[in-house]
Chain A
Amino acid sequence: MSDVSVNTMTAGHGHDASGDAHPLGTEHDHPKHLAHHFDTPEQQFTSAKFGMWIFLATELLMFGGLFCAYAVYRHNHPDVFLYAHHFLDKIMGGINTVVLIASSLTMAWAVRASQLGQQKLLLALLGVTLMGGYGFMTIKALEYHHKYEVNLWVGPYNMYNKDFKDPVAAAGNPAIPNLKTTAATDASPMTPAVAGAGEALQSGTPSNSNPGAETHDLNSTGISQATANHTDDIKAALTRIGPEWIDPNAGSGDEAQIKPAFVQPLGLAPKVIAARQPMKLTDMPKIEQGMVNTFFGIYFTMTGLHGVHVVVGMGLIFWVMVRAATPGQRKWVWPAGLASIGVYLVFCGLLTAGYLTGGGYGDAHAADYTAQTTQRASGTNPDASSTDLHASSTDLRASGDVHLSATSAHHAGAGHTASMSGLALLTFGAGGVVTVAGVVWMLIGFIQGRSLTGPGEFGPEYFTPVDLVGLYWHLVDLIWIFLFPLLYLIH
């Protein structure tokens, strides 16, 4: 280990060599980055790193609380997790894991570059790390958007929520069926979870012992038959769940009493493992069928909070990039950062509008929200809801074959186009403006022809911000290392 490590103390810079001998009050050749209340850069660096570790400890405890909530819920309702995790896409999750690990590598390398004073390499590695952050957030956005599209969003937008009411049917748009993509065998690699979801709801087809079948089986064989089965099954499954499921004890003295399905020590349901097939909703006790939406709540809370940390980390990395750049390099670091935000916003706008993954019915949810709230306020009639569901399921069956086409053809083939309005338009427009501004700014920089060489702020004698931001970024990676198996890889 020691033969490859570099002791940065051996690097030049002999200034302030006799600083220790100066009595206080004389002129003091003070190191540039040393704050007034520290004696030596070493003391300052050690303090900063120590403080950062304490802060990371608080972060760990905060996520620890989240993991505790997860553990207790999974412990009490293992089947819910076993069933619902099929809606998550372990390929996307796996790619994201690799992306984060790779960006951790470049971040660790960036710290090394700053310690050795390799200024250009430092800037490049920080840039790559930042791109890793964007990559992670892009995949995250695709996953989230997909959940939204197939009614697996939070709260009343989740089809397993007892307050759920099919937004599309309520919006009076029968052309867009409920659970469209859930039922469809979507061939797009962007949305493999769709197929898994479909299979999870599938109760009639025989079990498939091929592990890969979860995402590929339906794409390759018997599409139409599978789809027919699916639509039937979804209809049947939804009828069984009854989204309007109501706690029978609501309002009574027994409201707090609820039975766990069965308590298994490690959160696993043996009978399902024995069958070695994706679990069916009906494998669960009826009471747990009404709890599936909590899985999504936990999923969105955990990954959402983690996502917030990723965004904060990206901001910190960009801040360090600006400081690491020479004055000349800053002329393009700033606009490039701005443009990257713009591009991401454009992407989010297009995604929200539905141009990237399918139909643009996202806004139907928003439009429906008021109506839905009103209905909830006036008291939902279970029978009325079930009628709606039935109706939409019928639509689903009727338009099922339309959705066999590939993703790109989804909206065109189905006769409804992606719509750009509301939030999507705002995001897209703002992103476009920001991108153009960044690019123009960058062009001005190029025309002015700034020198790109010179000293950056960080070097062997001062690299603390790079080190601390690195620690934060690695923490983000650490949390994901646990989130990935706990949410995506339940067995």
Chain B
Amino acid sequence: MASMQEKMRSLVSNPNTGEGHADVHSAREPATMEGHVHVHAVSPLILLSVFGVLLVLTVLTVAVTYIDLGPANLIVALGIAVVKAAFVILFFMHMWWDRPFNAIVLISALLFITLFLGFAIMDTDNYQVYMKPPAVASPR
């Protein structure tokens, strides 16, 4: 059993992810780095470029509502929103340079939202056909 634990340990504990117990950090980094936090400051060029992209996409999403694409309008609007969100998350929120596990947290949250939305819409869609119209007798 003990050897199995060892094996699992080597499988799971990966120092490169920065994930795991504390001495991973001290083992990996020179002692002179103590007292500082390893992080990248995002350059103004990237920040301004992302801002520009977001502005363009905002204009685009408004503009596209004046074009009739049928059901695709909703898809396009949501697609643009997703792209905008991705830019905000990746660059404004530093996800691009961040620990991968933070991304896993975010993605699992989105997966569970999808799960909930998917089942709720699937269900409501399925039983709508069994609902009979009420005899609407307007008072007027």
Q: Do chains A and B touch in the complex (CB under 8 A)?
A: yes
Partner of B61, one of A54, A107, A485: A485
Q: How many residues of B contact A (CB 8 A)?
A: 81
Tell me, in angstroms, the Cα distance from A50 to B95 when the chains sit together: 12
Q: Mark A181-208, 1 if CB is under 8 A from B, else 0.
A: 0000000000000000000000000000
Q: How many residues of A contact B (CB 8 A)?
A: 105
Q: State whether the Cβ of B2 lies closer than 8 Å to any Cβ in chain A.
A: no
Cβ-defined contact, B36 with A60, below 8 A: no
Tell me, in angstroms, the Cα distance from A57 to B38 when the chains sit together: 24
Query: In the complex, what residues of B have CB within 8 A of residue A112's CB?
Result: 41-44, 47
Q: Mark A445-482, 1 if CB is under 8 A from B, else 0.
A: 00000000000000011111001001100100110011
Q: State whether the Cβ of A379 lies closer than 8 Å to any Cβ in chain B.
A: no
Interface centre among A8, A108, A115, A240 (most CB of B within 10 A): A108
Please name the residue on chain B nearest to A289 by beta carbon. Answer: B138
Cβ-defined contact, B25 with A42, below 8 A: yes
Q: Nearest Cβ in chain B — how far from A77, in angstroms?
A: 11
Known interface pairs A248-B134, A477-B88, A478-B85; A267-B62 also in contact (CB < 8 Å): no
Known interface pairs A8-B41, A43-B25, A211-B66; A50-B101 also in contact (CB < 8 Å): yes
Query: In the complex, what residues of A have CB within 8 A of residue B71's CB?
Result: 264-266, 268
Cβ-defined contact, A107 with B65, below 8 A: no
Known interface pairs A8-B39, A211-B66, A491-B68; A75-B134 also in contact (CB < 8 Å): no
Cβ-defined contact, A57 with B39, below 8 A: no
Q: State whether the Cβ of A375 lies closer than 8 Å to any Cβ in chain B.
A: no
Please name the residue on chain B nearest to A270 by beta carbon. Answer: B70
Q: State whether the Cβ of A64 lies closer than 8 Å to any Cβ in chain B.
A: yes
Partner of A7, one of B34, B40, B88: B40
Among B63-90, those with CB < 8 Å from A are 65-66, 68-71, 73-75, 77-78, 80-81, 84-85, 88-89
Query: In the complex, what residues of A have CB within 8 A of residue B75's CB?
Result: 266
Query: In the complex, what residues of A have CB within 8 A of residue B34's CB?
Result: 16-20, 31, 40-41
Cβ-defined contact, B110 with A5, below 8 A: no
Interface of B is mostly: helix
Cβ-defined contact, B117 with A273, below 8 A: no
Query: In the complex, what residues of A have CB within 8 A of residue B29's CB?
Result: 42
Q: State whether the Cβ of B131 lies closer than 8 Å to any Cβ in chain A.
A: yes
Known interface pairs A265-B71, A491-B73; A481-B85 also in contact (CB < 8 Å): yes
Partner of A53, one of B68, B73, B106, B131: B106
Partner of A460, one of B36, B88, B110, B116: B36
Q: Nearest Cβ in chain A — how far from B133, in angstroms?
A: 3
Q: State whether the Cβ of B4 lies closer than 8 Å to any Cβ in chain A.
A: no
Please name the residue on chain A nearest to B54 by beta carbon. Answer: A101
Please name the residue on chain B nearest to A485 by beta carbon. Answer: B77
Closest 9 CB pairs of A and B: A259-B133, A4-B43, A64-B113, A57-B109, A211-B66, A266-B71, A491-B73, A485-B77, A5-B40
Residues of chain B whose beta carbon lies under 8 Å from any beta carbon of chain A: 18, 22, 25-26, 29, 31-48, 50-51, 54-55, 58, 61-62, 65-66, 68-71, 73-75, 77-78, 80-81, 84-85, 88-89, 91-94, 96-99, 101-102, 105-106, 108-110, 112-113, 116-117, 120-121, 124-125, 128, 131-140
Please list 12 pairs of residues, one from A and one from B, whose beta carbons are closer than 8 Å in the complex, sorted by A's number.
A4-B46, A7-B38, A8-B36, A14-B32, A57-B106, A101-B51, A105-B50, A109-B47, A111-B94, A481-B84, A489-B61, A491-B65
